[in-house]
Amino acid sequence: MIANKNLLLMPGDGIGPEVMTQAKRVLNWLQETKRASFNIEEELVGGASIDAHGVPLTDAALAKAKAADAVLFGSVGGPKWDKVPFNIRPEAGLLKLRSELQVFANLRPAKVFDALAAASSLKPDLVRGLDIMIVRECIGGIYFGEPRGIETLPNGEQKGVNTEVYTTHEIQRVGRVAFELARKRQNRVCSVEKANVMEAGLLWRQVMTKLKAEEFPDVELSHMYADNCAMQLAKNPKQFDVIVTGNLFGDILSDLAAMLTGSLGLLPSATLGAKDASGRIPGFYEPIHGSAPDIAGKGVANPLAEVLSLAMLLRYSFDMQEDADAIEAAVERVLAKAGRTPDIKAEGRPTISTSEMGDALIAELRAI
């Protein structure tokens, strides 16, 4: 049994707390069945933290996140906070967390469960069996580059500025994660950028090419422009194994990949940093979706991306492979036989709520 792991839960805003409630039921199951014992704490983040403390991430919450063995996050943002100053928006809290935890490699697996091949927006044959891994650089690129801001020009016009910046080291470290993952999969990495129009993209391509030659000669490397990659994901997604890309392109391409699997509500993620002196790797886990204001409070959000993020946490931070497998298998069984939340609604299947999806999942887990 895995004992005394410190886990910080940060549910956030909108559907974040709703889906986190279902992940907590899975945590309870793990503890009740003596598979693990956790010291669980919870902290506000995003809009909820702005309402309580005036900032999207307090120093105390950040300190707890840094001290935890892993962080499970929900989602942040919503129209209520759209007018707060830009640097303290809910989303700034999330970016600060990722950056302060130095979690640079965001693993976004897009897997199609057999029962959901028909829920994809593509024809079932194009997606059945799909299993791709998008590795998104998560603490660099245009979301963090300087200079940035909105300035007023002498003629009264305004100018909005963001800057794409990548250094050799930033590209190498995320590239290594992608190559290493590929070795455990189909041994193929597709590196995605816009080397045709952006110097940061050209450097990305050069660094990836050199990295492959020097450290990963056994792994196949291809390069693709990001716009073509979006098209290829919609045309023939099974051509990909591991995709490695920067922060902005990874954000966009993973939302597209989510729809191949049936819903944004299904895609989990793990964001990992480098091993520290004590051998610990910081791990931050979150669904790829946002706070979904259009459905928040209605009890209809799909909780499976959050639950699958918990499974990734067990797998990557606590080496609890069997328990992670058990949760993923239970999700698969639920999708094969239970009702569906509205985002993956299917003819002949009852439409169920977030908590009913949680009930079905817990019933499957208890049956093990």
Ligand X SMILES: NC(=O)C1=CN([C@@H]2O[C@H](COP(=O)(O)OP(=O)(O)OC[C@H]3O[C@@H](n4cnc5c(N)ncnc54)[C@H](O)[C@@H]3O)[C@@H](O)[C@H]2O)C=CC1
Ligand Y SMILES: CC(C)CC(=O)C(=O)O
Phi, psi torsion values for 171, nearest 5 degrees: -75, -40
Q: Is 345 a catalytic residue?
A: no
Quick one: DSSP state of residue 279? S
Residue 179 Cβ vs ligand X, minimum distance, rounded to whole Å: 26
Phi, psi torsion values for 55, nearest 5 degrees: -135, 155
Residue 160 Cβ vs ligand Y, minimum distance, rounded to whole Å: 17
Active-site residue identified among 13, 194, 212, 241: 194
Task: Determine if 295 is a binding residue for ligand X (CB under 6 A).
Answer: yes
Residues 144-151: contacts with CB under 8 Å, at least 24 apart: 144/95, 144/99, 144/247
Q: Which tokens hold the place of 357?
A: 């999806």
Residue 114 CB neighbours (<10 A): 12
296 annotated among ligand-binding-site residues: yes
Please tell me the distance from the alpha carbon of residue 239 to that of residue 246, in angstroms, as a whole number: 20
Strand 270-272, strand 105-111: pairing: antiparallel
201 annotated among ligand-binding-site residues: no
What type of residue sits at position 363?
A
Q: Is 166 a catalytic residue?
A: no
Please tell me the distance from the alpha carbon of residue 140 to that of residue 122, in angstroms, as a whole number: 32
Give the x/- contact pattern for ligand Y in 258-297, rule: CB under 6 A: ------------------------------x---------
Figure out which of the listed residues 119, 305, 326, 357 binds ligand X, where binding follows CB under 6 A: 305
Q: Is 143 a catalytic residue?
A: yes
| Structural contact between residues 53 and 21, judged by C-beta atoms closer than 8 angstroms | no
Give the x/- contact pattern for Mg ion in 200-239, rule: CB under 5 A: ----------------------------------------
Give the x/- contact pattern for Mg ion in 240-259, rule: CB under 5 A: -----------x--------
Q: How many residues does the chain have?
A: 368
Binding site for ligand Y (CB under 6 A): 91, 94-95, 143, 251, 288
Binding site for ligand X (CB under 6 A): 15, 19, 75-78, 91, 94, 263-265, 286, 289-295, 301-302, 305, 343
